[in-house]
A and B are shown apart, each in its own frame.
Chain A
Amino acid sequence: MSALAAGVRKVGAYAWFTVDCVRATVTHGVPWDRVMSESYKVGIRSFPVLFTMALFVGSNLAIQGHAAFSTLGGGNLVGMFVALAGVREVCPLLAATMVAAKAGTEMAAQLAVMRTKEQIDAIEVMAIDPRSELVAPSIIAVMLTLPALTVLTIAVSLISSMLVAVYQLGVDRGEYLSFLVGYLTAYDLFAATAKSVVFGLIIATVSGYFGFFSERGARGVGQATNRAVVTMCIVIITLNFALTSILYG
């Protein structure tokens, strides 16, 4: 019971933290130069990793889709499988997980280090709200860049799955493309970007929360980063189910 109470209290603290960040942004205005530098960190620095991942995930989608449908005599349906499974589910999740793993952990570690070195306290002493200075810009940055990264991931994985389907599995290119275009709608792309905006909010606020309230010292930094990444993974995947139910249910 006390464990449950502690859990509820933590969720409440997280919610208040998020509200505080939003309020600080509204009252102090958006520091656009900080948003730009954070966007660069999140977007450009995550892209090489994401690009590599999208290549391999796209080719894996093609192989598994082909394996699943060829037993039904429809190996050519792989285009449809990639369009539906890849664009709707896998690509937004992949982009969100990769950004959580790379940029999210980095933000958590950075804030925890600042907490350890008492830099956050120093900012507070100067009568500046550390949330609006340190956390709010990265929230806006991740919410802006993650949808863009998701669209890029979709593009890369569609191309790589087409290459694998055509050259490794011997599917006719025209058939692949016609099934792909036939089942992919603009709504799917909209849903993928909408999902990733929500994921972006989660990534930035969760990593900010764990970094901001970390314990001091080397062990505290490691612990904060660890907890942030696990929480982000679980929340993103659980939310994905809710979002899929809302958008497609």
Chain B
Amino acid sequence: MGGGVYQRGKAQQAPQGVDLGGTLRAVLLSPLVAAVRGPIDVLGRFSRFGARVLLTVPTRRWSVREFVTQAGTLTARCFIPVCATIFPFGAVIGVQGMAIFDLFGAHRLLSSLLSLVIIRELAPVLAAVLVAAQGGASFAAELGAMRIKEELDATAVMGIDPIGWHVVPRVLAMAFVVPLLTTLANAFGVAGGYVVAVGLYDQDHGVFVHHMAQLIGIFDLGASAFKGAVFGLLVGLISTWRGYGATGGAEGVGRAVNDTVVYSVMFILVVNYQLSSLLFGGTGG
């Protein structure tokens, strides 16, 4: 037995001295592998959940009534936060834009820039972020609490697919409501700029309205809503994914909500860059 131990110790020691490359690889590469592997692992699990949800949609084994209810509550709860944030945002652009265009004596360009920035970028991103904070977080909290209280398992035991009953309606509601709120946010953002420019800085009403649609067209409104739909789908999938997979009691629910907001904001901003390059031309038109 002692011999065996001796043998094993020797066998372990021998390659360590010789196999310098292996040691180096282990020392240098293992943190790198771990750092790369973590995010890939998370992405893989997220895609698997997303695929499962999206594949349930064409089977029609999900509740349309629940979808309508969720879309209604979501709109009612997110309407005020979205409008309350995009309006001051438009006003800030009004204040800063006036300062910038003062340098060139080109105040008339304010409304062109305002509507461009609001409709192409800010309205979809801000609407999606606010919906993630309000609606997505509450989805994660609801589903997380259901998971902790074993209500989801109870649904499954009754022979009802919890994905079709609880998850799919929420995801679809999100993808349906965010474009609507984005379109609303377009109007409110431009209105915020209008109040500052016309109300505070005495710009002519006609000048503001005339230059408003100079740099953008109907395509941009569609693109804005399209961005909103993509973000909505993402937020819906992320929030239900975190809530559905919550573990560990009340703390787990808190973590699910936290993760939902962080992941949603990250995904929205990263995907926004790709979508902007795709829709509006990466070379800047």
Q: Which residues of A contact B140 (CB under 8 A)?
A: 222
Per the bound structure, the CA–CA distance linking A224 and B266 in Å amounts to 22
- What range describes how many residues of A lie at the interface? 35 or more
Cross-chain contact B261 with A105 (CB below 8 angstroms): yes
Give the distance in Å from the alpha carbon of A238 to the alpha carbon of B134 in the complex: 17
Question: What 1/0 mask marks residues of chain B from 263 to 281 whose CB sits below 8 Å from any chain A CB?
Answer: 0011001101100110011
The answer, among A53, A70, A98, A226, for a CB contact under 8 Å with B137, is A226
Interface of A (DSSP majority class):
helix
Query: Closest chain A residue to B99 by CB distance?
Result: A248
Question: CB distance B285 to A223 under 8 Å?
Answer: no
Does B133 contact A102, Cβ atoms closer than 8 Å?
A: no
With A218-B250, A226-B141, A229-B133 known as contacts, the answer to whether A56 contacts B96 (CB < 8 A) is no
Q: Does B141 lie within 8 Å of A219, measured CB to CB?
A: yes
Interface of A toward B, CB cutoff 8 Å: 49, 52-53, 56-57, 59-60, 63-64, 66-68, 70-72, 75, 80-81, 84-85, 88-89, 97-98, 101-102, 105-106, 108-110, 112-113, 116-117, 168-170, 217-223, 225-226, 229-230, 233-234, 237-238, 240-241, 244-245, 248-249
When C-beta atoms are compared, the residue in chain B nearest to A102 turns out to be B262
Q: How large is the interface on B (under 10, 10 to 19, 20 to 34, 35 or more residues)?
A: 35 or more
Q: How far is the CA of A201 from the CA of B142 in the complex (A)?
A: 29
Let me know if B95 is at the binding interface, CB within 8 A: yes
5 shortest A-B CB distances, which residue pairs? A222-B141, A109-B254, A241-B88, A66-B284, A226-B137
Max chain A CB contacts within 10 Å: which of B81, B95, B96, B133?
A: B133
Contacts of A64 in B (CB 8 A): 116-117, 120-121, 276
User: Which residue of chain B has its CB nearest to the CB of A249?
Assistant: B95
- A109 in contact with B258 (CB, 8 Å): yes
> What B residues does A217 contact at CB under 8 A?
250
Residues of B within 8 A of A49 (CB): 262, 266
Q: How far is the CA of A113 from the CA of B282 in the complex (A)?
A: 46
Contacts of A81 in B (CB 8 A): 100
B273/A241 in contact, CB under 8 A: no
| Complex alpha-carbon distance, A59 and B272, angstroms | 11
**Contact across chains for A233 and B273 when beta carbons are under 8 A apart:** no
Q: Flag if B282 contacts A229 (CB, 8 Å).
A: no
Contact of A67 among B116, B255, B272 (CB under 8 A): B116
In the bound complex, how far is the Cα of B281 from the Cα of A72, in angstroms? 17
Question: Looking at the complex, which one of A63, A221, A229, A238 makes contact with B251 (CB distance below 8 Å)?
Answer: A221
Instruction: Say yes or no for B225: interface residue by CB 8 A criterion.
Output: no
Please measure, in the bound complex, the distance between the C-alpha atom of A219 and the C-alpha atom of B138, giving whole angstroms.
Answer: 10
CA distance A72 to B121 in the complex (A): 20
Contact across chains for B277 and A238 when beta carbons are under 8 A apart: no
For B95, give the chain A residue with the smallest CB separation: A244
- Tell whether, in the assembled complex, residue B215 and residue A110 are in contact, meaning their CB atoms are under 8 Å apart: no
B112 CB contacts on chain A under 8 angstroms: 68
Docked CA distance A110–B103 (Å): 49
Instruction: Knowing A109-B258, A221-B251 are in contact, say whether A63-B133 is a contact too (CB < 8 A).
Output: no
The answer to whether B89 touches A70 (Cβ under 8 A) is no
Q: Which residues of B contact A52 (CB under 8 A)?
A: 266, 270
Judging by beta carbons under 8 Å apart, are B249 and A237 in contact?
Answer: no
Q: Are B134 and A67 in contact (CB under 8 A)?
A: no
Interface string of B31-56 (1 = CB under 8 A from A): 00000000000000000000000000
The reply to whether B265 and A68 contact each other, CB–CB distance below 8 Å, is no
Chain B residue at smallest Cβ distance from A65 = B284
* Contact (Cβ within 8 A) A229 B261: yes
From known contacts A105-B261, A222-B138, infer whether A112 and B88 are also in contact, taking CB-CB under 8 Å: no
Min CB gap B253→A, angstroms: 5
Most B-side CB within 10 Å, residue of A68, A117, A230: A230
B236 within 8 A of A: no
Contact partner of A105 among B81, B88, B116, B257, CB < 8 A? B257
CA distance in complex: A27, B191 (Å): 47
Contacts of B283 in A (CB 8 A): 168-170
Task: Enumerate 5 A-B pairs (CB-CB under 8 Å) in ascending A order.
Answer: A72-B109, A84-B100, A101-B262, A170-B283, A229-B261
Quote the shortest CB–CB distance from B106 to chain A (angstroms).
Answer: 8
A116-B250 contact given A71-B215, A218-B144, A222-B141, CB 8 Å threshold? yes
Q: Binary interface profile of B, 124-167, with partner A (CB < 8 Å = 1, else 0)?
A: 00000110011001101110110011000000000000000000
Report A-chain residues with C-beta under 8 Å of the C-beta of B273: 56, 59-60, 63
Bound together, the chains give a CA A234 to CA B134 distance in angstroms of 11
A244 touches B96 (CB 8 A): yes
Chain B residues contacting A223 (CB-CB under 8 Å) are: 138, 141
CA distance A226 to B133 in the complex (A): 7
